[in-house]
Every structure is written in C-alpha cells, then in structure tokens.
Amino acid sequence: ETMELQIVKKVKYLGIWLRSKTISLKDNYIKLLQQIEKDLEIWNKMQISLLGRIATIKMNILPKLLYLFQTIPILLNKAFLKKLDKIIMQFIWNGKKARIKKIYL
C-alpha cells in the first residue's frame, strides 16, 4: 500500500507556523501582536486595579511573548517593539497618563 501525503505551504508545530522561507517567521509575531490586542480589549472591559493589570500582563501576555522570543530568535524592528510597548502601557494605565515611570515598573 502507498500512503498519499499532501503537500502544504505551511505547518503548525508547537504553536508556531513554519514555512519553507524563513522570512515568513515574522508572521508569527504579527499574529501574536493581533491576539494580544484582542485579549487586552477583553481584559480592558473589566474593572481591574493597577496591580491587577500588571499581574494580567505578567501572567497572560508575557509568557506568550517569551515563548515566541525563545523559539524564533529573529531580529525584530523597533517599530514592532514600540507598538507592543504602547499596547501594554495603554492597558496598564487604562488609556490614561502614566503615574509611575516605566523604569520603575
């Protein structure tokens, strides 16, 4: 008997989309950023204290980012990191002006 294998353009392995071209690995970061934005929109609807918001980032967002950073060690442009920082800081401060400098968080 012969087994028929289907040829696909991409494969999901351990939660990461892999393709034949390594340049497409950055797509994983873009998708994660979109997912983080959606998750934080949901969390933003809840009445959470400042410490609760920081804990939400530490327990829900950072592990996803760290996993991707460790499994796909590619260089990202500053624009991506600035956008990520902006999204996280807006969530922590609930869209208001920061009361504490970022270096102290």
Q: Give the pLDDT confidence of 28-86 residue by residue, as tens digits.
A: 999 999 999 999 999 999 999 999 999 999 999 999 999 999 999 889 999 999 999 99
Residue 13: C-alpha distances to residues 16, 64, 71 (Å):
5, 15, 11
- What's the rounded Cα separation, in Å, for the pair 56 and 52? 6
For the entire predicted model, the pTM comes to 0.82
Q: Round the CA-based radius of gyration of the chain to a whole number and report it.
A: 18
The DSSP call for residue 40 is H
Query: Has residue 105 got a pLDDT over 80?
Result: no
